[in-house]
A and B are shown apart, each in its own frame.
Chain A
């Protein structure tokens, strides 16, 4: 069975600090997808990034960057120069790839509450 572990329950940083959120996953599949979602205080889940298991290139999007390491089954998320608006719960999720249209569900980690202090 697939599993996602986010060991950091809560992280608190001061604005402009860099912060890394850890995500470790378990799956027996060779083809899978990893995701990060953000849940701000308003409650909605906002998609941030998707990465497939064959693409280990790191990705940068503005202040956000993601480090995917298959060897350690990790998919970590770094926010550079954090801002107060980054305060949210961040979820890492795993999906096993199956044929199109078939069942596919996300397994979520328990989330990391990030608080950025002014």
Chain B
């Protein structure tokens, strides 16, 4: 158990819909990262937050957005969903050091868009 909690574990929805994925980082970790894992793209970095502020953006679509709340939990919002958005979405957290610290991953949220 990494200490990172993600909900929901599984989600099935239709094209055009909007979903929200939730992540609670490990106790004390200030950084939250979102990754997307798909068969064709592999593990892709989407976005990072540190103590409520956005710190880095990767290959995140404009239809996707995220935020980190004062209690440090984070949400990833996916809108106007397309079939290609079906993937496993991971949240990870790391401690304040950032430098060289490993990322601890949650179990992922598997999104299926029909």
Contact = CB atoms under 8 A, between A and B. Distances in A.
B2 A44 contact: yes
Measured as residues with beta carbon below 8 angstroms from the partner, the interface class of chain B is 20 to 34
A100 B45 contact: no
B108 A98 contact: no
A113 to B, nearest CB: 12
B62 to A, nearest CB: 19
Contact of B98 (A44, A47, A52, A100): A100
Contacts, number: 74
A66 to B, nearest CB: 14
Nearest to B110: A43
A91 interface: yes
Interface string B19-40: 0000000000011010000000
Interface in B25-74: 30-31, 33, 42-43, 45, 48, 50-51, 55-56, 58
A97 interface: yes
Interface of A: 33, 35, 37, 42-47, 50, 52, 91, 95, 97-111
